[in-house]
Structure 1
Amino acid sequence: MSEAVDLVIRARWLVPVEPAGVVLDHHAVAIRDGLIVAVLPQAQASARFRATTTVDLPRHLLMPGMVNLHVHAAMNLMRGIADDLPLMRWLQEAIWPTEARHVSAAFVRDGTRLAAAEMLRGGITTCNDMYFHPEAAAEAFAEMGMRAVVGLVMLDFPTSFASDPDDYLRKGLAARDQWQGHPLIGFSIAPHAPYTVSDASFGRVLAMANELALPIHLHVHETAREIEDSLALHGVRPLSRLARLGVLGENLIGVHAVHLDDADLDLLVRHDCSVAHCPTSNMKLASGIAPVPRLLGAGLRVGLGTDGAASNNRLDLIQEMRHAALLAKLGSMDASALPAHAALRMATLAGARALGLGDRIGSIESGKFADLCAVDFGTLDCQPCFEPVSHLVYVAGREHVSHVWVNGETRVDKGIRLLHINDSELLQLASVWQTRLGN
């Protein structure tokens, strides 16, 4: 007698990510109550399961939904507002003044809705966000049906969101309390960076992260200037300062980690930290090339992030895979550095593990949430296809994403629309905010 399931997805190629390097031909995924029940050949799936819905993907690659390990989602409303500037000029002359004038709960809610729509359409099912008004971000992600870890931001200077470090944490904790237990929404502690957070504030961050068992999400070693300033102010490099303060640990996600010497790398390894690699943003801001092959060779968890749309300018993790692979080859002068399967693992399971979610998402395995993405290789620009994972990284674009599921529920269907929100509504939001920011 056949076994009832909600959904069976049958694909030409299935890439589970775990075990590594595997491509399964003509396999299927059976899903019940949002969880993966089985991964098996299509003929066996037809014999074993009776599905309420069956989706056939005869020319597609089925893969885990991607994990964007670092994003400032609401900054979608500032896409293209200040280009072709180095990081500190970009922040001080354009981004921080714009935020002071315009950031509000409504700004964050609307910008995050736009970002979530963009990410879902590109096959990103989970993101690690860092921005103000976490309660508004959580509301937007939940509305869009996207899995998110929302950062409780802290800085040492006042903004339109909070007046001082205690105020940031108080408001962040209120948001966490409001959304605690939601199936799609989690939280991290997000001190912005060593150059904007004092030793005393890092002490508060560490205490809260330990008490609540939350990840710590911060920018670190992004530019050479950051390190020079830290040496001048603190007498040590930023990672050494964080180690002295007790901040480094397996729950730390260090974003960028571009400028690392041997001692820095040793600290990251010794404390079992994770790294969010943002290759496109690093290129655009001329921050440098992160030593990703060395990080991976040392056994570190390295995921991929887009950063915000104001410094990228798109939330496209397929692009990040391609840029990560190409930069790794160029930076090491080794064409074998970071092959396609390794780039895909960075975009999926590595990011999930960095967030402490590796037992729930990031690979196609029985018992995990059915967060999945299908990419259509049947178009003319994808012909011929000899190796599908190579094709994903070096040929395809986010425009080839055809279907996306989160918890087994369809979020994107046939690549043309989000099922739960109207494009015209999102376009109107973007237009309203463009007018406000332009005045």
Structure 2
Amino acid sequence: MNDAMEVIQNGAVAIKDETIVAIGPRDILEARYTADTVVDCQDQYILPGLVNAHTHVPMTLLRGLADDLRLDVWLMGYIMPVEREFVSPEFCRLGTQLACAEMIRSGVTSFADMYYFEADIAKVVDEVGMRAMLCESVLKFPSPDAPTYEDSLAYTRQFIEDWRAHPRITPTVAPHAPYSNTRETLEKCTALAQEFDMPLMIHLSETKREVDDNVAEYGMRVMPWVEEVGVFSVPTIAAHCVHVEDQEIHILHKNNVSVAHCPSANLKLASGIAPVSHMLDIGVNVAIGTDGPASNNDLDMFEEMRLAALLAKVAPHNPTAVPAQQALAMATRNGAKALGLEGKAGILAEGLLADIIVVDANNTHNMPHFEHNPTAVYSQLVYACKSTDVRHTICHGQFLMRDRQLTTLDEAQIAQQAAAYASEVGTFLSQREENTLSKLIAVGIDVERAESFEVQTKAVLNDPSKIEDLLSHEDVEVIRAVHYRQYDTYFLFNDQDNSRVRYREDDGIDADGNVTSVRMRLTYTSGEKERSFHDSILLSHSRFIAPASHPLRFYEEFFKATDERHLQKERRRWHIHYQGTLYYVNLDRLIDPEVDQLFVEIKARTWSQTDAEHKADDIRQMMHILGVDTNHVVSEDYLDMQETL
């Protein structure tokens, strides 16, 4: 895998300690050297160890947790809630052991990780004997190992100081992504990497929505904005880079950014296909990663090499794009360069680190061989070989697997412990799926939540002019008047609470009928009212009120409700003081379903039985001013009225 892509038939490699001391024809090396250990590699390929340029190794314990979902539903609805509940140093140690076993078996000697508790991951990597760049995740909101980003940065600083001198481990920082960080956190992560002269890892332009959101918020696409923030002032591994335009690829090249291409995960999450052949043509260093085993769902670099070569041919309709030689280079020497190991690993050469794998060449799926073609060996390795063909794995001059037997890990014990974790996670998710409120709270980590009690009544208002009688009454002071067009989506659940979640879009309307503001909110209620006053005024309990931090489509896919219903109405709302107490008066016209009648609502927040009784009396008096008697009162919600309309 050197610059000349040289192939040595009947070759040999001599290793002393952690270093390759010679490489060449077998007969020459056998005449020059003797060794305590001689490995016969007849009918096998000897090549550099594979480099997994982007993954999240502890997520082996979340493999198969939630599949066939969109990225935002998968990440925000399942992965992050489970991580908040379960991710711990113990979780990360076990997940890393499982991942290392899988990677060693598939010929990976080096990897770049982005996760939490990286100091604990480092201890496992040290014990196992692999090589890794370990990147501590930093986010703008609380993470499993840090309540604030300041804590994440402090943890990362200590992690770097403790491990920076290790011969096989590079400790550094990983701001998760622009959308999960702020400009300030990105700048501070970059400054930390700069201070210690370390590389940095970040997710960039994985989805079209990420790019669109960045344009909406900052007025530019992801790459120019990240460059402006200064992230690319340090050596950077940019994971994914699926939705990048030509100008952005040139930005990556200009800043010597390495791209970690993750074809399986991008396909599985329908993120898209990265323009890898164009990146390579421009001169970007493109390496290959598996991404995490919760989104791939494996750590098989042979599969990733094959996919990388095949997918690159599709968009340009060019079967010569990313030939097998180049795909193997992406998985070896390009990966080594991305991890800061250029000139140290990634190729077989005298004086470099002995990170080497040996691969069976004569399994049925590898037959026959065509010796006339000097590039046939690359085709065999990329298009035909499987990870199970790896016979030996050597890292830093030490066997991590010999004759398919792992030397530094107990697979049976790891499997038993992983099964125990899977049982706990499964119980947690099963219980959450049975409780709508728990499921709602799980995706509300970045919003302020509240609950409220309200006293309220609703009635048909036959004479719209009566609303002025109330607003101009001597006991009434109008504080604010607004006009909304409201779009409500109700998710109904057939559970013991008869619970429902309302997703509401409020469009603020000006005097000319134009939309001037938009806000989205979530409200969770049960089907039953708490109690009633005067047979017409109800006390209701909204157990969850919060801004909706995701689009409607997210909640539709996440909740999978028993029933879903829609409601649209025009609402004029007045905030008033009645005898010094705050009330809300709504004048509503239902548009869908269309109803000729107008409805008036009067409501107020309450916090005690006494207060609720007092406000119920006030509401009764205001209804009298409106000329509304009990015959006009509607006890049903608008949603429930649909049955009779």
TM range (shorter): over 0.9
Note the C-alpha offset of 1:250.
Answer: 5.8
Note the C-alpha offset of 1:175.
Answer: 2.1
Note the C-alpha offset of 1:130.
Answer: 0.3
Deviation per residue, 1:195-228 (Å, 9 max, x gap): 0110011110111111101111000010000001
Q: Give 1:181's match in structure 2, choosing from 141, 155, 165.
A: 165
Cα distance in 1 for partners of 2:360, 2:135 equals 33
SS of equivalent residue, structure 1 residue 158: coil
Contact (CA 8 Å) 1:71, 1:129: kept in 2 or not?
yes
Contact (CA 8 Å) 1:280, 1:306: kept in 2 or not?
yes
Residue 530 of structure 2 corresponds to none
Percentage of pairs with the same residue: 40
Please give the residue correspondences for 1:4-403 in structure 2 after superposition, counting only pairs within 5 Å: 17-249=1-233, 251-386=235-370, 387-403=376-392
Note the C-alpha offset of 1:368.
Answer: 0.6
Deviation per residue, 1:315-348 (Å, 9 max, x gap): 0111000000000011221000000110000001
**What letter matches 1:394 in structure 2?**
Y
Gaps of 5+ in 2: 371-375, 428-645
**What letter matches 2:289 in structure 1?**
G
**What letter matches 2:380 in structure 1?**
H
Contact (CA 8 Å) 1:153, 1:169: kept in 2 or not?
no
Contact (CA 8 Å) 1:249, 1:273: kept in 2 or not?
no
2:418 matched to 1:430?
Answer: yes
Residue 11 of structure 1 corresponds to none
Residue 14 of structure 1 corresponds to none
**What letter matches 1:427 in structure 2?**
A
Note the C-alpha offset of 1:418.
Answer: 0.5
**What letter matches 1:393 in structure 2?**
V
SS of equivalent residue, structure 1 residue 167: helix
Cα distance in 1 for partners of 2:425, 2:176 equals 24
Note the C-alpha offset of 1:193.
Answer: 0.3
Residue 458 of structure 2 corresponds to none
Residue 12 of structure 1 corresponds to none
Contact (CA 8 Å) 2:156, 2:172: kept in 1 or not?
no
2:406 matched to 1:418?
Answer: yes
Is the radius of gyration larger for structure 1 or structure 2? 2
Note the C-alpha offset of 1:245.
Answer: 1.0
Q: Which TM-score applies when normalising by structure 2?
A: 0.65
SS of equivalent residue, structure 1 residue 412: strand
Cα distance in 2 for partners of 1:273, 1:422 equals 38
Note the C-alpha offset of 1:380.
Answer: 2.0
Residue 409 of structure 1 corresponds to 398
**What letter matches 1:434 in structure 2?**
A
Deviation per residue, 1:221-252 (Å, 9 max, x gap): 10000001011111111111111111124601
Deviation per residue, 1:123-143 (Å, 9 max, x gap): 000000000001111011111
SS of equivalent residue, structure 2 residue 47: strand
Note the C-alpha offset of 1:27.
Answer: 0.6
Cα distance in 2 for partners of 1:249, 1:290 equals 23
Residue 5 of structure 1 corresponds to none
Cα distance in 2 for partners of 1:346, 1:250 equals 21
Note the C-alpha offset of 1:422.
Answer: 2.0
Gaps of 5+ in 1: 1-16
Cα distance in 2 for partners of 1:335, 1:87 equals 30
Contact (CA 8 Å) 2:163, 2:171: kept in 1 or not?
no
Note the C-alpha offset of 1:177.
Answer: 2.3
More helix by share: 1
Cα distance in 1 for partners of 2:94, 2:128 equals 11
Cα distance in 1 for partners of 2:188, 2:409 equals 39
SS of equivalent residue, structure 2 residue 135: strand
Contact (CA 8 Å) 2:305, 2:382: kept in 1 or not?
yes
Cα distance in 2 for partners of 1:273, 1:151 equals 16
SS of equivalent residue, structure 1 residue 119: helix
Deviation per residue, 1:125-165 (Å, 9 max, x gap): 00000000011110111111111111021000002211111
Instruction: Answer 1 or 2: higher relative contact order, Cα 8 Å, separation at least 6.
Output: 1
**What letter matches 1:315 in structure 2?**
L
